[in-house]
Structures are given as structure tokens and as C-alpha cells.
Structure 1
Amino acid sequence: MVEHQFKRIFVITTVLLAVSACAASSERYPSLAIRDVERISGVFEPVEPGGETLRPTTAPAGQANQLQALVAQANSAHTAFMAAVPATRAAIDGIGAKVPGDKSWTDAQVALAELDSQRSIAAIALGDLDLLYANASVDFAEREAISEAREQVISSIILEDTILAELRGRADL
């Protein structure tokens, strides 16, 4: 019984001490009320835009020659691609047994690979043009000439992709 009384007194004392710790003086802790510094005050007026507009810098020297070279590379690849299309169509039309290892099937595969190779050369030129465009954007330089060259190369690649899809569909490869 004494032991039970001791436990009871111990629990009550512990609870009272814990409660009294919570009720300590508020002088030791800062107030959580909003301070004057935290209050919203003042008025922000929008700034009127100035008459000046930003203009991109001029294209770097030699960029026109670089663009011409890349477009010429893509055009050369496109010309070679278009010249190889009839032979590829003939190879696909000549497929006998559509079995890997058959001579006609292998010839069609090689012809399609040659077309893919020519398309890849044009795609490399497009990648270089994309890089020039990105650099001009970052440098805030003129991009119109690059954009025109890109559009020209993109239109060739789109045509090549359409032809390749059609030929693969015919070959059922």
C-alpha cells in the first residue's frame, strides 16, 4: 500500500511540475503577435515602359558563309536521296520471298540503308543549324537567316521521312 501511495505522489508531482513549466513567465519568450515590420504597407507603382526596345545584336561575321555551307550540305544529301529513290523502289518491288537472307530482300535492305544514310547527312546539317539557332538565342543575336535555313532543311527532311515511311511500308520491313 505504501508503494502504491508513493507511485501516486510521484505521478502527481511529475504532472504538476510539467504543467508549471508550461505556465512560466512570458517575459522569457518573444510574442508571436505581428510586429510593425511584418505589416504590409506602402504602394508599388508600375513602371512605365521606356521608349527604347531591345534589338538583337548583329549576326557574327562568317555566319552567312556557314549557313550557306550547311544548306548546301543538306541540299546535296537531299539530291542524292532523291536520285536513289527510284532504285530503292525497284529493289523493294523486286523482293521475292520476304525472308531475311534472300538476295532480293538483302538488296532492298541495302537500298533503304543508303537512303537512311543520305537522310542522316541532311539531319546532321539540321543539327548544326539548330545549334547555331540556340547559340544566337542565348547571345540575343539575329536569328532570321538561321531560321530560314532551318526551315529549308526541315522541309527536305520531312519529304525524305515521308518517302522512307512509304518505302518501308511497301517492303513490309
Structure 2
Amino acid sequence: MIARIAMLFVAAAPLALAACATPAGEYPSLAQREIERVGMVMTPPQTTPAPPPNPTEPVLSQARELVESVRTAHAAFLASESAVRSRVAAARGATAGSDAWALAEVALAGLSTQRSRAMVALADLDRLFIAASTSGESTETIGEARSEAADMVAAEDAVLSELSAQLAS
């Protein structure tokens, strides 16, 4: 049995070695190429980098736009507030699920939507403030804009809390 296995290996060895042999012309030469010679190395042209743009101006401009967006949303909130107060006053004492209560809830949800518009702009101001503070820029102007926007949103929160409490009682 061992003799047969040995004969099989002996017979298969030339076939295995023939598979490894390939003509010499199929592989690239390992000789040094022209580009690899020291005298042929190209150096990139020297350019002077342009000064970086001042990132503060676009950021401050964006902060002003965001505060204006909060002011617009706050003005819409204030314009809608009296109508919502009327709906809530009409629903005072009404049972949950009644028509008056439902109209007041819908009006209160609309007022909350106005507040959401201001909150989105306030969140963007927060993002700008964090980006400026982590990059070492001055945060004074953005902080003032953020404070003004936060005050408007806090006033809207107070109105919504008051009206929600009146509707719940």
C-alpha cells in the first residue's frame, strides 16, 4: 500500500513542477526604472498658501439671521396668543373631549408650533455658540444673540404653561 502511494507521488511530481514553471517574458522586470533614478525625481512646485478666510463674519451673519428668525417666530406667536387665550377661556370648565375643549387644544397646539420654530433657530444658535467656543473664537456676539432668543422662547414657554394649566382645570 505504501509502495503505491509512493509511486503516485513520483508520477505526479513532474506535473506539479511543470505547473510552477512559466515563461520569463510574462513578469515585469525588476530592474530600476527611469523614474526611480535620483536625477529624475520631480519636486512639486512651491506655492504660497492663501491666507485662511475669516470665519467670524459668516458665523456672525448667520447668528444675526437666526435671531431674526426667532424674532419672526416670536411675533407670530404673540399674534396668535390672543386668539388662543380666547379659545382656552371658552373651554374653561368644559369636559375633556367636548367641542370647546378640542378647539382650545388645537389652538394651543398651533401656538406650540410657533414656539417650535423659535426653538429650532435657538438650537442652531446653540450649535454656533459651541462651534465658536471650541474653535477659540469670540462668543460674545453669539452669546448675546443666543440670550435674546432664549428669553423669547422662555416667555413663550411661560404662556404655553399658563394656558395648558387653565385648560386642564
Q: What is the TM-score normalised by the length of structure 1?
A: 0.63
C-alpha deviation, 1:64, in angstroms: 2.3
Match for 1:134: what amino acid? I
SS at match of 2:137: coil
Of 102, 120, 124, 2:120 maps to: 124
Q: Which runs of 5+ in 2 are unaligned?
A: 1-53
Q: Where is the helix percentage greater, Structure 1 or Structure 2?
A: 2
In the TM superposition, what are the counterparts of 1:15-164 in structure 2 within 5 Å? 60-95=56-91, 97-100=94-97, 102-164=98-160
Deviations 1:59-95 (A, max 9, x none): 5231222111101110011001011111011001111
Q: d(CA) in 2 for partners of 1:97 and 1:134?
A: 46
Residue-by-residue CA offset, 1:10-64 (whole Å, 9 max, x unaligned): xxxxxxxxxxxxxxxxxxxxxxxxxxxxxxxxxxxxxxxxxxxxxxxx7523122
Aligned sequence identity (%): 36
- Number of residue pairs aligned between Structure 1 and Structure 2: 115
Q: Write out the 4+ residue segments of structure 1 that deviate beyond 4 Å after TM superposition.
A: none
Deviation of 1:157 after TM superposition, in Å, equals 0.7
